Amino acid sequence: MSTEGDKQYWDKKAPSYAKAPVADEAGYQRTLEKTRSLLKPTDTVLELGCGTGSTALRLADAAKSYLGSDISREMIKIAIEKQTAEETKYPGLSFCAATAEELAAKPVRFTTILGFNYLHLVSDVAATLKMTHSLLEDGGQLITKTPCLGDMNFLLRWGIPVVRFFGVVPTITIFTENEFSQLLQDAGFEIIETEKHASKGDDSRPFIVARKK
């Protein structure tokens, strides 16, 4: 799909996405806890691909400011509705519908960028990582956990390009963990640590902390 096609897909998906339960709640909680431990009260955070804001609402109090961004305006609309409904308010939390490229065109830079279940959904991972690098302050950190589909079942890997051809799913990029690690390094990042957070089944989504060199 094109970028516009992806926007339309996720706009339509937003209501059902917001209602869907987390597939691995224990693994998600591990990711939240680890991410929180890496944030400081002085941090300025950008979350790329924030969806309907669930993670942002759980982590916003750990940083000075937190901007959740997503390609889908409908996702962001739901995120703002969730934020409004929260009893506890986070003055530093905001949301916007934008791509990494659109954000990079602005003068604001961040100490930390988060990307959860995001980078396998961009058409050019190398370009997006370079854009992410440019959005960070010197020495800033990128925290990411995204499926490395190249390490998954062969039939699933084979089936993804087929359904993409028929326009059933949005952009999905297949890479292995080793390939993703190399892409990070090529974009100017130093990998600090890698963990596995899944509580069940094989974990093809490594939790990676990388620093801007």
Residues 110-149 pLDDT 10s: 999 999 999 999 999 999 999 999 999 999 999 999 999 8
CA distances from 207 to 13, 115, 133, 144, 181 (A): 25, 10, 18, 6, 11
Q: pTM for this one?
A: 0.92
Sign of CA dihedral 187, 31, 54, 56: negative
Q: Tens-of-pLDDT digits for all 213 residues of the chain?
A: 578 888 999 999 999 999 999 989 999 999 999 999 999 999 999 999 999 999 999 999 999 999 999 999 999 999 999 999 998 889 999 999 999 999 999 999 999 999 999 999 999 999 999 999 999 999 999 999 999 988 876 555 555 555 554 455 788 899 999 999 999 999 999 999 999 999 877 778 999 999 999
Looking at residue 122, the DSSP 8-state letter turns out to be S
> What CATH number did the domain enclosing 124 receive?
3.40.50.150
Tokens of 79: 């995120």
Say if CB 61 and CB 128 are below 8 A apart.
Answer: no
Tell me if residue 29 falls in helix, strand or coil.
Answer: helix
Q: How many domains does the chain have?
A: 1
CA separation for the pair 144, 209 (Å, rounded): 7
Q: Are 92 and 126 in contact (CB under 8 A)?
A: no
d(CA 213, CA 209): 13
Domain with 65, as residue range(s), is 3-212
